[in-house]
Structures are given as structure tokens and as C-alpha cells.
Amino acid sequence: MTAPQIDETRALDHLMDLLAIEGLSGREGKVAAAVQEKLLAAGCEASWIGHDDANVRIPGNYEVGNLIVELPGTRPGPRRLFMGHMDTVPLCRGAVPVRLNGRIEAEGDTALGGDNRTSIGALVTMVETLLAQDVPRPPITVLMTVGEEVGLWGARTAELERLGNPEMGFNIDSGAPHVVIIGATGADRWQVDIHGRSSHAGVHPEHGVSAALIASRAVADVAARGFFGKIELPAGSGTSNVGRMAGGEASNQVTDHVFVSGESRSHDKAFLARITAAWRDAFEQAARSVTSSDGQCGRVDFRAETD
Ligand SMILES: [Zn+2]
């Protein structure tokens, strides 16, 4: 049997079409419609294509659920799953893809949305190639999820049975095309509200408890202990990041509230918990370390959720 030949011109056309469609998290309807149209043109039967009801189960008003395509096999064998996500990050709003000097770029200041439309384009091309060249295959499920960028919502709510109980899955969402990752990086997303006490910064700063100082000390402490950014410690490896810090109102006011959100990642579940614990401890210790002249200290409310 000869290997299937991929029509690169068509593959690029699919990708350019899909990159031009706006589809932020929760707003994947137009992407799904375009994919559906392409798949029908490629020879899929309408009955093979459908949506699950993830949109009903995900918080927020999602336009559509996950798009699921079930290709019947031409030979027996365990069902394979191929998947990617339809949504792109907010930076891709209004993106216009252009081809320039052998590259595809976004015109203007937006991001392009290659994450993850390259996957959606590749999956469309895969189905088209399989059908056009009648490539022998076991049953295949293609899953295109919604809400990935805001917490893997589509994948989290997808049901194996609705996917035909595949025995093996390939998720196309990464960097280099020749790299296969056979383990998932677990991530904790955490948020902390730091409560200090306000006072006039020019008259009686000592009466206040600065939430800004607490936040700064906590971040510096985590970094000093080796748990910030790329983490390579004898006990394990991973990453962590502060994604957002916000708070305060005026320069003459001791900051009484700062919000910080961030994440921890590691392949090792136990070590992942240690990274997140390092953040929690650092915020709690820092809150105790900042006191006003009458002995009041700050307090923190730290929440973490594992993806
Ligand atoms: Zn992605």
C-alpha cells in the first residue's frame, strides 16, 4: 500500500480559511460551522457529525458544544481519537491571516491563532485525505473542543461514551510537529486575595498594612526558595508563574487589597502540590510578617484548582 499523499495547497487553504474566523472561548460557533461545511464537502455523511451538550454543562453562555465526528472504519480495530481545540485566546480577536515570504502571519497587532487552528486545519485535512484516498483505517473519532484556553472546559466535560470509547487519543496542540508528548503536565491555577489595611500614606503609613508589600514579599520568597519560573530542585521539577497582580487605588493610600493569580505545573502530581503549597505558605507567611504600629497584620485568602 502506498502512503497517503497530502495535498499541501488544499491543507494551506483550509488553514487560511480557519485562521480568518473569529472564535474566542465560548464563541466557537462559526468555526464549528466552517469545519462542518468542509467535512461535508470532503465526503463525510451528515450523520457522522454532531455536537455534544458541553455548552449546557460549561458555565457561561457557550454557543456550541464540542464538535464530534465519527468516521466508520474500513477495517476492524480499536477506535482512535484525534483532537484539537476550536477556541483561540482574546489576543486573536479580529485576526486577519496573511501569507508573507513563506510564512503565515497576522496582519496588524493581533495574535494569529495558530494555537490551535493549525490543529483544526490538520484534522480537516486528515479526514479529507482519508476519504479521498480511501485509506484503510479503524474507526476514528475526531473531537474539536470548546473553551480550552480558559480551563480545558470542552475536554473536561467530554464523555468517553459519546466519543465512541476510543482506546487511544492524539491531542494536537503543541510546538514542533515531530514531537510527541506521552504524558500530560498537570497544572494548578491559583488565586489569592491579599487583605491589608488602608491608612494615609503621607500622614500615618505605620497605621496601615500594605497588601502590596505582602504580595511583593511572597513572590520574592517563592523565588528565593527556587519555586518561581523554571523549577529544578532535588525534590522535583516544574514551572510556576504569576500571571496577574492588581490592586491599590491611590499613591497616598496604603494598599489594602491586592489580587494575584498564577499557576504551577509539573509532570509529578506530588511535586505539583508542593509548588502550589510553596505559594500558599509564602503568601500566608508574608501576611503575618507585615504589621501595623498597633500590631495588626494582613490576611490572605488563597484558592487553588487542579486542571
Ligand atoms: Zn492550544
Residue 152 CA to its chain's centroid (Å): 6
Looking at the chain, the whole-number percentage of residues with pLDDT higher than 90 is 92
Give me ligand 1 centre to Cα 22, in Å. 15
Q: What is the DSSP letter of 152?
A: S
pLDDT in tens, 97-142: 999 999 999 999 999 999 999 999 999 999 999 999 999 999 999 9
Mean residue pLDDT of the chain comes to 95
Give me ligand 1 centre to Cα 202, in Å. 48
pLDDT in tens, 254-297: 999 999 999 999 989 899 999 999 999 999 999 999 999 999 99
Q: What is the pLDDT of residue 73?
A: 97
Give me ligand 1 centre to Cα 127, in Å. 20
Give me ligand 1 centre to Cα 171, in Å. 10
What's the average model confidence in pLDDT over 227-246? 96
pLDDT in tens, 124-135: 999 999 999 999
Give me ligand 1 centre to Cα 199, in Å. 44
pLDDT in tens, 76-90: 999 999 999 999 999
pTM as predicted:
0.66
- Nearest CA to 231 out of 205, 207, 264, 253 is that of 264
How far apart, in Å, are the Cα atoms of 26 and each of 32, 69, 153, 173?
12, 20, 10, 18
Q: What is the pLDDT of residue 183?
A: 65
Give me ligand 1 centre to Cα 26, in Å. 15
Give me ligand 1 centre to Cα 24, in Å. 12
- Apex 284 CA angle, 281 and 288, nearest 5: 135
Give me ligand 1 centre to Cα 256, in Å. 37
Sorted by where each starts, the structural domains of the chain and their CATH numbers stand as: 8-171 (3.40.630.10), 186-306 (3.30.70.360)
CA distance 30 to 21: 7
Rg (C-alpha) for the chain, rounded Å, is 24
Q: What ranges make up the beta strands (E) of the chain?
A: 49-51, 67-71, 80-85, 96-100, 103-107, 140-145, 168-171, 186-195, 229-233, 236-247, 257-266, 299-306
Give me ligand 1 centre to Cα 90, in Å. 13
Please state, as a whole number, how many other Cβ atoms lie within 10 Å of the Cβ of residue 62.
24
